[in-house]
Amino acid sequence: MKSFKFIKLYAFAGILLFTFSCKKPNEDVPVIELQDNRVFVINEGPFQSGTGSLSIINRDSLTVQNNVFEKINNRPLGNLVQSMEVFEDKAYIVVNNANRVEIADAESLLSLGTIENLNMPRYFLGISTEKAYVSCMDNTVAVVNLNNNTITKNIACGTGPERMLLVENKTFVLNLGAYSVDSTISVINTGVDTVSATIVLAAKPNGICNDKNGNLWIICSGNGWNGWPQASDSKGHLFCINPNDYSIIKDIEFPTNTEHPEKLVINKSKDVLFYVMTDGIYEFEISSTELNTNPFIACNTMFYGLGFDDKIEYIYGTDAKDFVQNGWVYRYNSIDGALVDSFNIGIAPNGFCFN
Amino acid sequence: MRNLLFIILIVLGKLVFCQEIITDSVFQLSEVNINASRINDFSVGLNVERIDSIFLTNSSSSSLGNILSSLTSLFIKTYGQGSLASISLRGTSAVQTGVFWNGFRINPPNTGMSDLSLIPSSFFSNIGIQYGGASSLYGSGLIGGSVHLNNPAVFEKKVSFGINSSYGSFDNISFGGDVLLSNEKWFSSTAFFINNSENDFPYKYVNETKTQTNAVLKQYSFIQNVNRKISKDQTIKAGIWYQFSNREIPGTITSKPGNAYQIDKSLRTSVKWEKVRSDQKLNIGVAFFNDYLHYSDIDEIPETDIDSEFNTKSLIVETEWKKYFGKDFKINTGLNFTTEIADIDAYHEIKKQKQGGVFLSVSKIFTKIKWNLNINIRQEFIEGYNVPLSPSIGFEGKILNFISGKINISQNFRAPTLNDRFWQPGGNENLKPEKSWNEEVSLIFKFHDKKSIKHKTEMAFTIYNSMVNNWILWKPIAGSALWTPQNIQIVWSRGFEVKGKSKIDFNRFKINFLGTYTFSKSTFQEQINGTDNSFEKQLIYTPVHNFSSNLSIIIKSWFLLYNQNYTGKRFVSSDNENFLPGFSVGQVSFGKTFNLNNNTIKINFKINNAWNTEYQIIQYRPMSGRSFLLNINYKFKK
């Protein structure tokens, strides 16, 4: 009798083992609806071992689709999706820590290949139908031949080149400083792909826009971290420069060296700038000579991403929360700064692509 | 109970001097033994599990991380073969679990987390796991529980010598040896372990088979224990343990191939003087630990290069006195002083932290009802902040002839690590210690008739609950890219454990079964702001379900071991929107033992991940599929 009990016990254990060894079939992959009136949200993804993703917000239906690239192409984008540009009907998605740019059809998002062998790429800028620039953390801007998606040249810039802006035949490259500090802008002559000038501004040039007068606006964060005052901190600056002779038209200093402004976007009529501080989004009229002391859109968190949607003239901000959960996108009316709506988005949203 | 106590008190004078030996208390009640260490003697109401030697001796080349993940239902968070492996006990984190060697805590003070992948399991003849809060016994960091590594000494004439070598898939080569010499006055045990694994295993990624790169592990380690009985009642115990490893750090599937490597060196020494009388025991011990880590990630981009050194030293002095008053009442009291020194690039200067602790335990046996009551209290003093008092109360005994019960309630804490306090930028010197209340109740059933010792089946059910306040979480400062630790969360961990153990022993035919299921729910209880979706959600990388089963069959000189584990789904985002699916991994090992006079040769063939399960423990970090290992062990005993 006793041994029978034991047999039962082992049989039970065996069933348990078997049950746990079985696999469940995969879930069905949901169908993505890709529509015209859409905004891409770039989600960096979890910092260490995750993958970044793309989300789509539909301006009409106000619906969100997350993780669209993976759903369409059955593979993740890769670790730390930094930015995205649509150029010549193709989407170029820069995957920083995977050393590559993913190319996809801008309509269907079907993968069309990759640009490989980039060293920690940050931003993509289309120059001509045959040529693009990719800023990389190896202190260069890679010149990419868009016919075969190979790198033809690396243009040495300052430390940690990031955002770029094309004005006629000049590309202005902001040297943010990577893990250290830089205060310069490299100007690349796009005809010959060489640096023709270096403009010295202030520490950590972070964002660049051109206004209706043809002038350039650059925001420099200053040295240091928000919320972590150190002796080495320096003040942020907002510069207006002439793109032809690089002369400084305006240099507006931020009042303290403990607050470091970030991001810079301009409205549709190109006369009002927006940037972020720890207490919200600030507005700056280009004719002004003084900074606003109060935020245009007050918020208890510093937006991780900032965008201006010319089509509907909304300001977009992202909140990355704890960087390990889905973040949020907030949309504000650019006239009075009123909150329009908000969307739960992918992990660590850092920016937008309005096409 | 009363008879047992008498017997023990009578034989006390003759008792061998043993070290901090761990006995299994999951299925039984705490033993009464003058030599028992604090973890057994004053852990009334808690469960202490000893890893069964049947499973331990067949895994000579495994790391402690591998052993615990296959033999227990603990969740071992490993970044892949040969990579960092940390422990999660009852839904808590690795910093809330203490790892002890010879009774001294070895968690490095900078991270607070022991890497179990580098600890050779063959170095310890006695490995124990204590579940639940035990700050009242051991101070900071025992919210989830603790792991105890020991080499108990036996003073009898004995000589043994062994070598163990193994070769496995992906060029996993290891070689180890041990020598044990003892007589009535001396006990010496020596062991070394050398391992080299390429870990270039194939894995599947989107219909493509890739090969793991940059994952080579090279390690060697050495341990020496010497115990000397200097008089009838005095013993000196000394140990030295050194380990070196140089390993590459592979990248994830979704990022560029890894290029980083890491060198770890740890030197651990301890000396203890012990005096044992029939009714009391006094010991004074000193331990010195030095952990060195060099992490290097250098590639074509000098701006993003990381080349950092982390050097920490800990000096621990502890004294403890235990005294029996009659046969049913005993006390234990002691003092602990610890100094930690950290020379870490990111701290910008050498940081020192001093702490002290005073503890008192009383234990009373109510002989009439056969229940044991135990009250512990400990107060730590740590430079820079206030530490809560850690009291605990435990009660255990027989309910019916075959049912016993246990209950334990304690307040526990974890001091911030040195990284939490001093890391630049981000470190927060104003952090408070995490504080928790832990409660647990266990019922133990023994289904064996006393006439026969050939069958034995035991089951234990435990329900636990803990609420951790001031939970330290690294979070970005106001949306800036800078992260800082903050005491902002409350974590509620609760669940239950079911353990079953069964033995059949007919001399030439033995079956041993061990099964454990753990249900552990750990959720954030504080909503940071209105849109924080981590509120009331399970912590990331903390499985709710864990199941482990082990079966060993020995027929004459042949043996078969089978192990099947299931780890439930683990969320990878704090809002529980993303998760890794559950997986089940099996392991089969079989072999034969050849005996010739004093010589034993054991040949053993092992299949890891026998059903070739594809799984990830950490997202986008591949784990190897089926792999094989051949192990040959030679032992001479006299």
By Cβ distance, the residue of A74, A79, A304 closest to B255 is A79
Element (H, E) at B56: helix B53-56
Instruction: Identify the residue with better confidence: B21 or A243.
Output: A243
Q: Mean pLDDT across the stretch B96-124?
A: 94
The mean per-residue pLDDT over the stretch A61-81 comes to 93
pLDDT tens digits, one per residue of B188-202: 999 999 999 999 999
* Overall average pLDDT of the B139-151 stretch: 93
Please tell me the predicted confidence (pLDDT) of residue B34. Answer: 64
B114 in Cβ contact with B105 (< 8 Å): no
Q: Which of B306, B620, B621 to mutate to test the interface with A (most CBs of A within 10 A)?
A: B620
Quote the pLDDT of residue B422: 94
Distance from the Cα of A355 to chain B's closest Cα (Å) equals 27
Average pLDDT, chain A: 89
pLDDT number for residue B33: 61
**B contact residues 214-243, partner A, Cβ 8 Å cutoff:** none
When pLDDT is averaged across residues B379-387 and rounded to a whole number, the result is 90
pLDDT range class, residue B238, cuts 50, 70, 90 = very high
Q: Does A120 contact B449 at a Cβ distance shorter than 8 Å? A: no
Confidence of residue B22 (pLDDT cuts 50, 70, 90): low
A4 to chain B, any CB pair closer than 8 A? The answer is no
Least confident of B71-85, B102-116, B210-224: B71-85
Residue B446: pLDDT over 60:
yes
Distance to chain A for B88, nearest Cα, Å? 19
CB contact under 8 A, A79 and B578: no
CB B319 within 8 A of CB B359: no
Q: Please indicate whether, in this complex, the C-beta atoms of A17 and B549 are within 8 angstroms of each other.
A: yes
pLDDT score at A12: 46
% of chain B at pLDDT higher than 70: 93
- Chain A closest CA to B262's CA: distance in Å? 17
Q: Is A180 on the interface with B (CB under 8 A)?
A: yes
Q: Which residues of A touch B452 (CB under 8 A)?
A: 2
pTM of the model: 0.90
Which residues have CB under 8 Å from A20's CB, separation 6+? Answer: B547, B564, B565, B566, B584
Q: Is the pLDDT of residue A19 over 90?
A: no
Which comes out higher in pLDDT, residue B392 or B531?
A: B392
Note whether B575 contacts A: Cβ–Cβ < 8 A.
Answer: yes
Q: Cβ–Cβ of B620/A50 closer than 8 Å?
A: yes
Amino acid at A121: P
Cα distance between residue A29 and residue A6, in whole Å? 45
As a whole-number percent, the residues of chain A with pLDDT over 90 amount to 79
* Residue B608 pLDDT grade (very low, low, confident, very high; cuts 50, 70, 90): very high
Respond yes or no on whether ipTM tops 0.95.
Answer: no
Compute the distance between CA of residue B521 and CA of residue B544 in angstroms, rounded to an integer: 6
**With helix as H, strand as E and coil as C, how does B261-277 read?**
EEEEEEEEEEEEEEEEC
Three-state SS string over B247-304 comes to EEECCCCCCCCCCEEEEEEEEEEEEEEEEECCCEEEEEEEEEEEEEEEEEECCCCHHH
pLDDT on residue B19: 41
> Are B478 and A79 inside 8 Å of each other by CB?
no
Q: Count Cα atoms within 13 angstroms, Cβ side, for B136.
A: 26
Which 57-76 residues of chain A touch chain B by CB within 8 A? 74-76
- Compare CB distances from B619 to A5, A49, A303 and report the shortest one's residue: A49
Mutate to test the interface with B, among A5, A6, A114, A223 (most CBs of B within 10 A): A6
Question: How do residues A223-257 score in pLDDT, each as one tens digit?
Answer: 998 888 888 999 999 999 999 999 999 999 999 99
Q: Which residue of B lies nearest to A80 if distances are taken between CA atoms?
A: B255
Give A7's pLDDT tier (boundaries 50, 70, 90). Answer: very low
Q: Is A138 on the interface with B (CB under 8 A)?
A: yes
Closest Cα partner for A241 from A219, A217, A261?
A217
Using the beta-carbon criterion (under 8 Å), do A97 and B586 form an inter-chain contact?
no
Residue with tokens 């989107």: B206
Nearest residue on chain B to A53, judged by CA atoms?
B254
pLDDT of residue B611 exceeding 90, the answer is yes
More confident residue, B604 or B479: B604
Question: What's the whole-number average pLDDT of chain B?
Answer: 90
Of A13-22, A181-190, B35-44, B583-592, the one with minimum mean pLDDT is A13-22
Q: Which of A240, A243, A241, A204 is nearest to A220 (CA)?
A: A204
* pLDDT tens for each residue of A109-140: 999 999 999 999 999 999 999 999 999 999 99
Does the pLDDT at position B277 exceed 80? yes
**Residue A229 has what pLDDT?**
86
**Cross-chain residue pair B477–A227, CB shorter than 8 Å:** yes
Closest B-chain CA to A136: B301
B46-52: average pLDDT: 88
Per-residue pLDDT band at A3 (split at 50, 70, 90): very low
Q: Which residue has the higher pLDDT, B266 or A179?
A: B266
For residue A22, give the chain B residue with the closest CA. B584
Cα separation, B140 vs B95, whole angstroms:
10
More confident residue, B479 or B47: B47
B580–A contact, CB cutoff 8 A: no
Q: What is the pLDDT of residue B363?
A: 94
Q: Answer yes or no: do A10 and B513 touch at CB < 8 A.
A: yes
> Which carries the bigger pLDDT value, residue B361 or residue B305?
B361
| Partner A contacted by B504 (CB < 8 A) | yes
Q: How many CA atoms lie within 13 A of B100 on its CB side?
A: 31
Name the least confident of A145-149, B152-156, B282-286.
B152-156
Q: Which of B67, B54, B149, B48 is nearest to B513 (CA)?
A: B54
For the stretch B497-528, pLDDT in tens is: 999 999 888 888 999 999 999 999 999 998 88
- The residues pairing with B515 across neighbouring beta strands, listed in sequence order, are B500, B549
Long-range CB contacts (< 8 A, 24+ apart) of A129-135?
A129/A88, A131/A190, A132/A87, A132/A92, A133/A164, A133/A171, A133/A173, A133/A188, A133/A190, A134/A94, A134/A101, A135/A161, A135/A162, A135/A163, A135/A164, A135/A173
Strand partners, B334: B320, B359
The arithmetic mean of pLDDT across residues B526-539, rounded, is 87
Beta-carbon separation of B254 and A49 below 8 A: yes
Q: Which residue has the higher pLDDT, A316 or B298?
A: A316
What is the chain B residue with the closest CA to A119? B301
> Omega of the bond prior to B425 within 30 degrees of 0, cis?
yes
Q: Which residue has the tokens 């420099």?
A: A220
pLDDT (tens digit per residue) in A325-353: 999 999 999 999 999 999 999 999 999 99
- Say yes or no: A98 contacts chain B, CB-CB below 8 A: yes
Partner-chain residue, chosen from A50, A119, A320, that has the shortest CB–CB distance to B301: A119
Helix/strand/coil for B67: helix
Nearest in space to B315 (alpha carbons), one of B334, B337, B345, B297: B337
DSSP SS3 for A180? coil
pLDDT cut 90: percent of chain B above it = 74
From B18-32, B121-135, B240-254, B461-475, the region with the lowest mean pLDDT: B18-32
For B89-140, give the DSSP string: -TT--GGGEEEEETTEE---TTT----GGGSBGGG-SEEEEEES--HHHH-T
User: In chain B, what residues touch A259 (CB-CB under 8 Å)?
Assistant: none
Q: Do B534 and A325 touch (CB under 8 A)?
A: yes
Strand (E) or helix (H) holding A113: strand A111-115
pLDDT at B443: 96
Within 8 A of A48 by CB-CB distance, chain B residues are: 252
What per-residue confidence (pLDDT) applies to A211? 96
For residue A55, the distance in angstroms to the closest alpha carbon of chain B comes to 15
| B 120-159 residues with CB < 8 A to A | none
Q: Which B residues 405-434 touch A at CB under 8 Å?
A: 425-426
The residue of chain B nearest to residue A345, with distances taken between CA atoms, is B577
- B600 touches A at CB < 8 Å: no
